[in-house]
Amino acid sequence: SKYVYSFGNGKADGSADMKELLGGKGANLAEMTSIGIPVPAGFTITTEVCTYYQEQQGQYPAELKAQVENALKEVEELMGAKFGDPENPLLISVRSGARISMPGMMDTVLNIGLNDNTIKGLINKTGNERFAYDAYRRFVNMYADVVMGVRPETELEHDPFEEILEAKKQKSGVTLDTELTTEDLKELVVEFKELVQKRLGKPFPEEPMDQLWGGIGAVFGSWNIPRAISYRQIHGIPEDWGTATNVQAMVFGNMGEDSATGVAFTRDPATGENYFYGEYLTNAQGEDVVAGIRTPQPINRAKTVPEGMNTLENEMPELYKQLAGIRDKLELHYHEMQDIEFTIQQGRLWMLQTRTGKRTAAAALKIAVDMVGEGLIDKIEAIQRVEPEQIDQLLHPMLDPEAPREKIAKGLPASPGAAVGQVVFSAEDAESWHNQGKKVVLVRVETSPDDIRGMNVAQGILTSRGGMTSHAAVVARGMGTCCVAGCSEVVVDYKKRSFTAGGVTIKEGDFITLDGSKGEVYKGEIPTVDPQLTGDFGTFMEWVDEVRQLGVRTNADTPHDSEVARNFGAEGIGLTRTEHMFFEGNRIDAVREMILSETLEGRQAALAKILPMQREDFVGIFKAMDGLPVTIRTLDPPLHEFLPHTDKEINDLAKDMGVKPAQLKAKAESLAESNPMLGHRGCRLGLSFPEITEMQARAIFEAACQVASEGVKPLPEVMIPLVGHVNEFIRQKEIVARVAEEVIAKTGQKIDYMIGTMIELPRAALTADEIAQEAEFFSFGTNDLTQTTFGLSRDDAGKFLPDYVSQGILPHDPFVSIDEKGVGRLVEIGVELGRKARSNLKIGICGEHGGDPKSVAFCHRVGMNYVSCSPYRVPIARLAAAQIAI
């Protein structure tokens, strides 16, 4: 079978839609080649070979060798040079590239094919000895590190090659790499090779073919290095995809002042603005821009550029024009914002990569909306361009613009948002501090791909070097984490664990605040406020609402939450937990009195105190949800949750109730249960103490009648929890219906209401037809349903469930995304039986799953009417509902 796909000189075996086989990089190199964009010739070894390599402990399919050799020959012909030839050597890169991009996580080796013979050819060919040795020392360094594993052994140890390089610079009395002489570079090559021999006890490989296969093995092997595994875990990328390997002729951005290398986005990846945005360095090679070693220059003046700084547009106007033309061509071709890599070798432009650009949520929205306006895509396409989870970023708090602040530095606004936290200087510390419950800001000179875990837990990231396209910036944007990059005023001292900026010294553990949208750093903690949603957000969500079929409600217990959710587009409340109100202020006293009373009269007296308070809450909620349905659940949790705990609490309460403390204590102890989640809770309470249900129903309907008399339209839906048998429901419904009719008759208001139930026990799902004959609506309580279906206590699962997921026993946490096979099956049965008994049965979900995009898709597929989720997830659920309806 075919394992190798060639590209070059306008022709390619592969294409953009072959990402599974060729990886994103390989597929797009092929595509660019086919549409006439200049790409150095090369070939891609498929992801199938990666899988084979992993499964067969580093072996390759038998056919591979010949296919690689043939493809290499084609590259040699196209480039007019020969791999390993001492007269006219071809140099190549070996590059990783998975189905979706994992920036910097896997390995790439440049300048393969150099040895003490071929270097002569390179010098002859280019007439540039300094360049040749610069390429050589970079190659030995990179190959020894990536392929042979010569690198620092701990995080604190310096890079051994970097140390040799620094020593050389000091000896020569220079500060920049570019100031090193040819002699210096020559010596570096020798010293680097000596280091390899010393560390590994074997020589650096001189044979180009060995170098090539070493590189290929390293790239396939890098699929399984720790940072790549972490990245896949964080982004939910399957382990079995594998990476492709791209072998490509080298082009050189480090051949002098007429050479350069750069990275660009076809639109601004932070804001989404439609202008060509990029950075470059003259006389530099590939990694230099992304690694943040030198802070690069902008390609144009589309945004303000510091006085005296050059741009590609004025340094190399013709090449800039060509590059801008390629930008337009790529956007027209892909209909998508692209992230590109280019290199200019002695006045000639080459494209080395294009891919869909990572962007912030704000940019994703703006680009989607703009592209509809530009006619590049339609609304349906636009809706699919934004990840539901990404929307979350837009709803995150921003710095309170009114709050006073002390700015200590300004860098590049690499990834927007606000971050407040304690300063740490290593990714390891970020993780361990985070595990202690602290909020941290990770401060580094630059970040490396190994910092991925620390970056993921940090509130924000601050680097003193590197540009907008540096590793730190790209990774932070992908995670939605605030980042200020290239902040040269920040001088980091890792040894002292402190940094100075603006005349201030900040030590490890001190608080700082970052504004990733402005690129500013402040001393101390600045308060945050809710964000303003932009016009694009409104436009986009209108399209979303046109498409989706599923309703989206919210879980809200207070008028404030109800208002927030309504502003986010909630179409009603799917769950009000009445017991949450019991903890407000000193209400708990009355509640305790009710629970601990020995007599009906005692309970009724206490309930009489609670009634007006509950009624007040419902009045507020009905007003906030004027004209929209409000589902109110009757008392649900086990009673002991409300009990007094300390002796002082018991004594005070006993005094209020006029009983002896000992008696009260005994009563409280008698209410303790050994398995409360399966104990005296839910409708079981209302059945034992019907007066509680009665009081709650009265509060609901008195509130409804009161607001109705003021011109508000309340639509109460009373919901009975934890029903397992229809008889439980019938008895509770009788109480609610009787009170409702009483109150309505007394006030003379007309109230549309419904009485329904939660389906959260397997037995309820299995007998849903019986229950639906009595209940007017169902709401699936998937938290309890998951708990009871798995027989898994949610409060204790934290001790072992994460292991289940990491060991692959379960594909994901069933409390986060619904377990479709098991719990979901019960939901399907419940929906089907319910609708059979009552065809117009209204069905929703009110567990945490209601805000999880995957579960929302499931709810759509089983034919629910709505999902309900917490206020801040309402827009996420709306988008997820639209995407599944497309």
Q: Which residues pair with 4 in a beta bridge?
A: 45
Least CB distance to Mg ion at residue 787 (A)? 8
Least CB distance to ligand ADP at residue 320 (A)? 18
Q: Are strands 498-501 and 491-493 parallel, antiparallel or unpaired?
A: antiparallel
Task: State the binding partner of 853 from ligand ADP, Mg ion, none, CB within 5 to 8 A by kind.
Answer: none
Report how far residue 739's alpha carbon sits from residue 700's, in angstroms, rounded to the nearest whole number: 10
Closer Cβ to Mg ion, 516 or 781, answer by number: 781
Sign of CA dihedral 365, 369, 370, 375: positive
Least CB distance to ligand ADP at residue 122 (A)? 14
Q: Which of 526, 690, 671, 730 is nearest to 604 (CA)?
A: 690
Closer Cβ to Mg ion, 288 or 784, answer by number: 784
Consult the annotation and say whether 137 binds a ligand: no
Residue 725 appears among annotated catalytic residues: no
Closer Cβ to ligand ADP, 18 or 251, answer by number: 251
Report how far residue 425's alpha carbon sits from residue 456's, in angstroms, rounded to the nearest whole number: 14
Least CB distance to Mg ion at residue 353 (A)? 5
Least CB distance to ligand ADP at residue 302 (A)? 22
Closer Cβ to ligand ADP, 290 or 610, answer by number: 290
Output the six-digit token pair for 91: 């140099």
Consult the annotation and say whether 783 binds a ligand: yes
Least CB distance to ligand ADP at residue 250 (A)? 4
Task: State the binding partner of 95 from ligand ADP, Mg ion, none, CB within 5 to 8 A by kind.
Answer: ligand ADP
Report yes or no: 773 and 838 within 8 Å, Cβ to Cβ. yes
Least CB distance to Mg ion at residue 846 (A)? 9
Distance of CA 62 to the CA centre of its chain: 40
Output the six-digit token pair for 114: 């150099």
Three-state secondary-structure class, residue 127: coil
H-type alpha helices, 222-316 = 226-235, 287-290, 312-315
Q: Are strands 520-523 and 407-410 parallel, antiparallel or unpaired?
A: antiparallel
Least CB distance to ligand ADP at residue 261 (A)? 7
User: CA of 437: how far to CAs of 417, 431, 432, 458, in Å?
Assistant: 21, 10, 9, 11
The secondary structure of residue 464, as a DSSP letter, is: S
User: CA of 400: how far to CAs of 396, 423, 740, in Å?
Assistant: 12, 21, 46
Sign of CA dihedral 320, 323, 327, 333: positive
Task: State the binding partner of 824 from ligand ADP, Mg ion, none, CB within 5 to 8 A by kind.
Answer: none
Task: State the binding partner of 286 from ligand ADP, Mg ion, none, CB within 5 to 8 A by kind.
Answer: ligand ADP
Task: State the binding partner of 760 from Mg ion, ligand ADP, none, CB within 5 to 8 A by kind.
Answer: Mg ion
Q: Which of 178, 315, 312 is nearest to 256 (CA)?
A: 178
Closer Cβ to Mg ion, 728 or 760, answer by number: 760
Closer Cβ to Mg ion, 132 or 349, answer by number: 349
Report yes or no: 683 and 732 within 8 Å, Cβ to Cβ. yes
What would the 3-class secondary structure string for 500-569 be?
A: EECCEEEECCCEEEEECCCCEEEECCCCEECCCCCHHHHHHHHHHHHHCCCEEEEECCCHHHHHHHHHCC
Q: Which of 420, 415, 416 is nearest to 403 (CA)?
A: 420
Amino acid in position 623: K
Report how far residue 277's alpha carbon sits from residue 308's, in angstroms, rounded to the nearest whole number: 19
Three-state secondary-structure class, residue 244: strand
Closer Cβ to ligand ADP, 452 or 801, answer by number: 452
Closer Cβ to ligand ADP, 244 or 621, answer by number: 244
Three-state secondary-structure class, residue 478: helix
Question: By the criterion CB under 5 A, which residues form the site for Mg ion?
Answer: 353, 760, 781, 784
The secondary structure of residue 793, as a DSSP letter, is: -
Report how far residue 330's alpha carbon sits from residue 287's, in angstroms, rounded to the nearest whole number: 23
Closer Cβ to Mg ion, 84 or 686, answer by number: 686
The secondary structure of residue 29, as a DSSP letter, is: H
Task: State the binding partner of 781 from ligand ADP, Mg ion, none, CB within 5 to 8 A by kind.
Answer: Mg ion
Q: Which of 850, 860, 848 is nearest to 884 (CA)?
A: 860
Q: Which of 777, 751, 781 is nearest to 835 (CA)?
A: 777
Closer Cβ to ligand ADP, 282 or 789, answer by number: 282
Number of residue whose CB is nearest ligand ADP: 286
Amino acid in position 774: E
Closer Cβ to Mg ion, 128 or 353, answer by number: 353
CA dihedral 113, 119, 121, 127 (to 10 degrees): 130
Task: State the binding partner of 784 from Mg ion, ligand ADP, none, CB within 5 to 8 A by kind.
Answer: Mg ion
- One of 471, 483, 705, 869 is an active-site residue; which one? 471
Least CB distance to ligand ADP at residue 279 (A)? 12
Least CB distance to ligand ADP at residue 289 (A)? 7
Q: Are strands 573-577 and 440-444 parallel, antiparallel or unpaired?
A: unpaired
Least CB distance to Mg ion at residue 721 (A)? 6
- DSSP sequence for 571-622: -SEEEEEGGGGGGSTTHHHHHHHHHH-SSHHHHHHHHHHHHHHHHHHHHHHH
- One of 50, 483, 846, 869 is an active-site residue; which one? 846
Amino acid in position 879: L
Amino acid in position 207: E
Residue 158 appears among annotated catalytic residues: no
Consult the annotation and say whether 782 binds a ligand: yes
Question: By the criterion CB under 6 A, which residues form the site for ligand ADP?
Answer: 40, 93, 95, 103-104, 108, 110, 248-251, 286-287, 290, 341, 343, 352-353
Angle (deg, nearest 10), helices 535-547 and 361-373: 70
Strands (E), 663-747: 715-720
Report how far residue 322's alpha carbon sits from residue 113's, in angstroms, rounded to the nearest whole number: 30
Report yes or no: 518 and 413 within 8 Å, Cβ to Cβ. yes
User: Binding site for Mg(2+): what residues are annotated?
Assistant: 760, 784
- Please list the active-site residues: 471, 846
User: Binding site for substrate: what residues are annotated?
Assistant: 577, 633, 760, 781-784
User: Binding site: what residues are annotated?
Assistant: 577, 633, 760, 781-784
